Amino acid sequence: MSRPRNDSRRMALLDAATQVFAKHGLQAPTSLISKTARISEGSLFTYFKTKEELVTALYLDLRVDLASAITSNFPRRSSVRVRFEHVFRRYVTWGVAYELKRKALRSITLSNLVTPAVRAQSSELFAEVDRLLADALQQRLMKDLPAGMSSQALKAIAEMTMDLIDRDPERGDEYLSAGFQMLWGALARKP
Amino acid sequence: MSRPRNDSRRMALLDAATQVFAKHGLQAPTSLISKTARISEGSLFTYFKTKEELVTALYLDLRVDLASAITSNFPRRSSVRVRFEHVFRRYVTWGVAYELKRKALRSITLSNLVTPAVRAQSSELFAEVDRLLADALQQRLMKDLPAGMSSQALKAIAEMTMDLIDRDPERGDEYLSAGFQMLWGALARKP
Amino acid sequence: MSRPRNDSRRMALLDAATQVFAKHGLQAPTSLISKTARISEGSLFTYFKTKEELVTALYLDLRVDLASAITSNFPRRSSVRVRFEHVFRRYVTWGVAYELKRKALRSITLSNLVTPAVRAQSSELFAEVDRLLADALQQRLMKDLPAGMSSQALKAIAEMTMDLIDRDPERGDEYLSAGFQMLWGALARKP
Amino acid sequence: MSRPRNDSRRMALLDAATQVFAKHGLQAPTSLISKTARISEGSLFTYFKTKEELVTALYLDLRVDLASAITSNFPRRSSVRVRFEHVFRRYVTWGVAYELKRKALRSITLSNLVTPAVRAQSSELFAEVDRLLADALQQRLMKDLPAGMSSQALKAIAEMTMDLIDRDPERGDEYLSAGFQMLWGALARKP
DNA sequence: TATGAATGAGAATTCATTCAT
DNA sequence: GATGAATGAATTCTCATTCAT
């Protein structure tokens, strides 16, 4: 069978799953998701054969969402630093604006439900970021770091920044600036 | 006298819980824990009245373990930088050596099962680290960062480093050095 | 449309609960009830969220059953004595005909599972009986008894009569007549 | 093996069981009983092989207690009416004074744990009462009631009276007098 | 295809009883 | 005998998934 065609129901389910997983974690019952989506319990399983499939689909959906937030209007021609700041600000801004999406994505990422293949597949969405890091390296702007470490640092510092803003949203801008300063200090060869 | 309550059974349960929670997350069944500890399902509950109590006990146990790894032989009289490096290396080394403990601790920390009071209590174990950060600030070695951000950065970069070492243990030393460089670059006013 | 919720399954469960509670008391396992009703263990909880809710529902059901047995064709215009006899005979006859219902109701009544509010609510079903007792008092047919004692006596003597008929059903009519004689002797100012 | 000789421990257990069964019903855990008796969980089972055996022993103990309360100083030579009143008052007084004993005894009586043989055995303790009822019958003081009904009425009205006194102890004497009046009215041929 | 009732394999406990000390 | 830790079957309830309508 092909995927059921009523796409708005599918999206309603993904949206509901975002809310529910953000609030209750991955072990939340599927019945809560279908209820939130105002869809019958059984119908959920016509859109996603299993809970695991729903989780995987949501993971991909959220990763696409995040990637497009980062990549849209990407200043491809600008300097490394400008692009870096773009990525960081967009990442954090997205995470703060869509707290539920971020929390759901985190819950999924921390679980073991998503296969490595799917993770790898979704990573391709962030090719622009990889290119940026490669440029930075080539231009000798970055410290000599083991492969892959810089992107992880970006992620770690961004996530940390979001958590802090969650707790104290009024000082969001401060955290955002400080976060980028820290990130640049962590990665750049010279400040 | 009755059969004496065997402390090694309690430890076996905590150890089993560490393994199980690290592998399957907190929602793993208690039956898996008792089985892993080669103890009957009912006996678990003579040592811990509820699953929550087991989780809390394990949390405290692991936090003490980590704190003592960081604090033992702490070079209290040394420079901020030396103490910083001590903390970072000990933290990462502990997390790599005891991957399961680290993952279990992470699972517990991310859940909401541990009460704020217990969290606060266990934080006191890390007073030495707080003092170090205060010293760094006072000596104007650190950037002007919003309160609490530096300790979160320490944690974020350390955890990131551990994750990388997990995936590629052979280059552990590289990651460790690079991690500390990044941390220092992130926090220090001057490199 | 989905499979329609089948009212006969709910009734089957109440019926099974009646049998099981009558025989084994309230602490009988819900699994025995679902088994008796030829329904899966889980389904019981789609009809009654908890065991307590099942017990309460059964209590109300049985009280309604008893009340309607007593109240149907109630000789509202007849003398106190005739009405008294009506109540007593109907009460006892119901309890003998539906021994299981009576025993289940007794088990539930003796437990503390049913809230006072629910008890009060169900008592309203027996308003006719209260009116009868009030009439008897007003017409000075009854002894001067502390408030509430007469209705308790009615209940006590009726229940006693039913227990005796249980043990020796063949002499049911004798017990019934004697029971009423005793009740009247107990309450009436003059025989 | 013979019965363990430390009788005071056995009595402590029976006493604890009385309190516990009165408050929580027969399904109360044995551990609560041993704890109340300040005796180890295991020791309970050296005095009573099973919980059922404990229940049976307690039943007999309480029945003896009640019987002796009724029978002591029994006015064997007095009139039927005097003896009747003696029995009734002693019964009710005992039940009010030893509310826990009464409630425990009721819990046990209502359960199916005590075998008919044991019930029959304990009934012999009340031979004096049976004799009284036989005398009353022979002297044509009593209505012509089916066999066994008068003793059940005595029990039913006495228990009802105790319940009322429980709820409103200040009017205990009123209830007691009214209860006896009702009993006599129920049983006597002439008032 | 949509619905939601039905299912049954777990889940966390509890507790009478046993048994090592 | 006394103790209380150990046991595991039993209990109430949950939830992903199926299936009759």
Residue C16: predicted pLDDT: 98
Evaluate if residue C165 carries a pLDDT over 50: yes
Q: How far is B100 from chain A (nearest CA, A)?
A: 15
Task: Confirm if D169 and D97 have CB atoms less than 8 A apart.
Answer: no
**Total residues found in chain C within this entry:** 191
CA B7 → C1' F4, Å? 15
Task: Name the burial class of residue D183, with classes exposed (0-12), middle (13-18) and buried (19+) by CB atoms within 10 angstroms of its CB.
Answer: buried
Which one, of C17, C37, C36, C35, lies nearest residue C27 by Cα? C17
Which one, of C70, C68, C120, lies nearest residue C91 by Cα? C70
- Selecting from D146, D155, D188 the residue whose C-beta is nearest the C-beta of C174 gives D146
Q: Is residue B36 part of a domain?
A: yes
Nearest-angstrom CA–CA distance, C30 and A133: 63
pLDDT, one tens digit per residue, over B56-95 is 999 999 999 999 999 999 999 999 999 999 999 999 999 9
Q: Is residue B101 part of a domain?
A: yes
Please compute, for residue C70, the number of CA atoms within 13 A of its CA located in the half-sphere on the CB side.
Answer: 23
pLDDT, one tens digit per residue, over C92-127 is 999 999 999 999 999 999 998 999 999 999 999 999
D25 falls in which pLDDT band (50, 70, 90)?
very high
Q: Is residue B145 part of a domain?
A: yes
Evaluate if residue A190 carries a pLDDT over 80: no
User: Which residue is closest, via its CA, to the C1' of E6?
Assistant: C43
Please tell me whether any atom of strand E lies within 7 Å of the Cβ of B45.
yes
CA B159 → C1' F3, Å? 48
Nearest-angstrom CA–CA distance, D146 and C181: 12
Q: How far is C117 from chain D (nearest CA, A)?
A: 18
| Helix-strand-coil split of chain C, %, nearest 5 | 75, 0, 25
The DSSP call for residue C3 is P
The residue-averaged pLDDT of B98-110 equals: 97
As given in the structure block, the two tokens for residue D76 are 């064997």
pLDDT, one tens digit per residue, over B130-165 is 999 999 999 999 999 998 999 999 999 999 999 999
Please tell me whether any atom of strand F lies within 7 Å of the Cβ of D40.
yes
Task: Confirm if D54 and D13 have CB atoms less than 8 A apart.
Answer: yes
Residue B105: predicted pLDDT: 98
Contact flag D157-C159 (C-beta cutoff 8 Å):
no
Does D contact C via 3+ CB–CB distances below 8 Å? Answer: yes
Q: Is residue C85 part of a domain?
A: yes
Please state, rounded to an integer, the average pLDDT across all residues of chain D.
95
Evaluate if residue B1 carries a pLDDT over 70: no
Contact flag B185-A188 (C-beta cutoff 8 Å):
yes
Nearest-angstrom CA–CA distance, D162 and D94: 9
Which chain C residue lies closest to D180 (C-alpha atoms)? C186
Give the bridge partners for C142, in sequence order: C188
Please tell me whether any atom of strand E lies within 7 Å of the Cβ of C31.
no
Cβ-based neighbours of D152, under 8 Å, separated by 6 or more: C160, C163, C164
Please tell me whether any atom of strand E lies within 7 Å of the Cβ of C9.
yes
| 3-class SS of residue B188 | strand
| 3-class SS of residue B113 | coil
Evaluate if residue A167 carries a pLDDT over 60: yes
The residue-averaged pLDDT of C82-91 equals: 97
How many CB atoms within 10 Å of residue A84? 25
B98 falls in which pLDDT band (50, 70, 90)?
very high
Residue A1: predicted pLDDT: 44
B4 falls in which pLDDT band (50, 70, 90)?
confident
Which one, of C111, C189, C187, C103, lies nearest residue C149 by Cα? C187
Touching check for C160 and chain D: CB below 8 Å?
Answer: yes
Please compute, for residue C72, the number of CA atoms within 13 A of its CA located in the half-sphere on the CB side.
Answer: 8
Nearest-angstrom CA–CA distance, C129 and C152: 12
The residue-averaged pLDDT of B6-27 equals: 95
Does A contact B via 3+ CB–CB distances below 8 Å? Answer: yes
pLDDT, one tens digit per residue, over C141-155 is 999 999 899 999 999
Nearest-angstrom CA–CA distance, B154 and A26: 28
Q: Is residue C1 part of a domain?
A: no
Please compute, for residue B9, the number of CA atoms within 13 A of its CA located in the half-sphere on the CB side.
Answer: 16
Residue A3: predicted pLDDT: 56
C6 falls in which pLDDT band (50, 70, 90)?
confident
Residue D158: predicted pLDDT: 98
Contact flag C153-D171 (C-beta cutoff 8 Å):
no
Evaluate if residue A31 carries a pLDDT over 70: yes
The residue-averaged pLDDT of D41-54 equals: 97
Q: How far is A6 from chain B (nearest CA, A)?
A: 34
Nearest-angstrom CA–CA distance, A183 and A191: 11
Task: Confirm if A128 and A70 have CB atoms less than 8 A apart.
Answer: yes
Which one, of D100, D112, D24, D23, lies nearest residue D66 by Cα? D100
Q: Is residue B74 part of a domain?
A: yes
Touching check for B82 and chain A: CB below 8 Å?
Answer: no
Touching check for A142 and chain B: CB below 8 Å?
Answer: no
Residues of B in contact with A145 (CB under 8 A): 178, 182
CA C53 → C1' F18, Å? 27
Please tell me whether any atom of strand E lies within 7 Å of the Cβ of B49.
yes
The residue-averaged pLDDT of D96-107 equals: 97
Contact flag D178-C149 (C-beta cutoff 8 Å):
yes
Query: Which of strand F's nucleotides are less than 7 A from any protein C-beta?
Result: 1-21
Residues of B in contact with A174 (CB under 8 A): 146
Which chain D residue lies closest to C107 (C-alpha atoms)? D110
Nearest-angstrom CA–CA distance, B115 and B59: 11
Task: Name the burial class of residue B95, with classes exposed (0-12), middle (13-18) and buried (19+) by CB atoms within 10 angstroms of its CB.
Answer: buried
Contact flag D148-C157 (C-beta cutoff 8 Å):
no
| 3-class SS of residue D188 | strand
CA C14 → C1' F13, Å? 19
- Domain of D48: which CATH number? 1.10.357.10
D2 falls in which pLDDT band (50, 70, 90)?
low
Touching check for A111 and chain B: CB below 8 Å?
Answer: yes
A155 falls in which pLDDT band (50, 70, 90)?
very high
Task: Confirm if B14 and B61 have CB atoms less than 8 A apart.
Answer: yes
Nearest-angstrom CA–CA distance, C70 and B21: 61
Which chain B residue lies closest to A180 (C-alpha atoms)? B186
Nearest-angstrom CA–CA distance, C9 and C17: 12
DSSP D74-90: --TTS-HHHHHHHHHHH
Which one, of D62, D114, D70, lies nearest residue D88 by Cα? D70
CA B27 → C1' E12, Å? 11
Q: Is residue A143 part of a domain?
A: yes
Token look-up 């019981």 returns C44
The DSSP call for residue C99 is H
Q: Is residue D159 part of a domain?
A: yes
The DSSP call for residue C169 is G
Nearest-angstrom CA–CA distance, B124 and B110: 19
Residue D1: predicted pLDDT: 46
Touching check for A29 and chain B: CB below 8 Å?
Answer: no
Nearest-angstrom CA–CA distance, A23 and A106: 12
Predicted TM-score of the model (pTM):
0.93
Which H or E element spans position B153? helix B149-167
Evaluate if residue C61 carries a pLDDT over 60: yes
Task: Confirm if A133 and A153 have CB atoms less than 8 A apart.
Answer: no
Which chain D residue lies closest to C144 (C-alpha atoms)? D178
pLDDT, one tens digit per residue, over D106-130 is 999 999 899 999 999 999 999 999 9
| 3-class SS of residue D25 | coil
Q: How far is A43 from chain B (nearest CA, A)?
A: 26
Q: How far is A178 from chain B (nearest CA, A)?
A: 6
CA B27 → C1' F19, Å? 29
Subset of residues 19-58 in chain C with CB less than 7 angstroms from any atom in strand F: 27-31, 41-42, 45, 49-52
**Total residues found in chain A within this entry:** 191
Q: Radius of gyration of chain A from Cα atoms?
A: 18
Task: Confirm if C143 and C189 have CB atoms less than 8 A apart.
Answer: yes
Evaluate if residue D4 carries a pLDDT over 80: no
D183 falls in which pLDDT band (50, 70, 90)?
very high
Evaluate if residue C3 carries a pLDDT over 80: no
Q: Following CA atoms C11, C12, C18, C24 in sequence, which dihedral angle do they give, to the nearest 10 degrees?
A: -150
Give the bridge partners for B142, in sequence order: B188
Please tell me whether any atom of strand E lies within 7 Å of the Cβ of B24.
no
**Long-range Cβ pairs for the range A67-73 (8 Å, 24+):** A67/A122, A67/A125, A67/A126, A69/A93, A69/A94, A70/A94, A70/A126, A70/A128, A70/A129, A71/A125, A71/A128
Evaluate if residue C170 carries a pLDDT over 60: yes
Report how many domains make up chain D. 1
Q: Radius of gyration of chain C from Cα atoms?
A: 19
- Selecting from A112, A159, A186 the residue whose C-beta is nearest the C-beta of B185 gives A186
Residues of the domain holding C125: 7-187
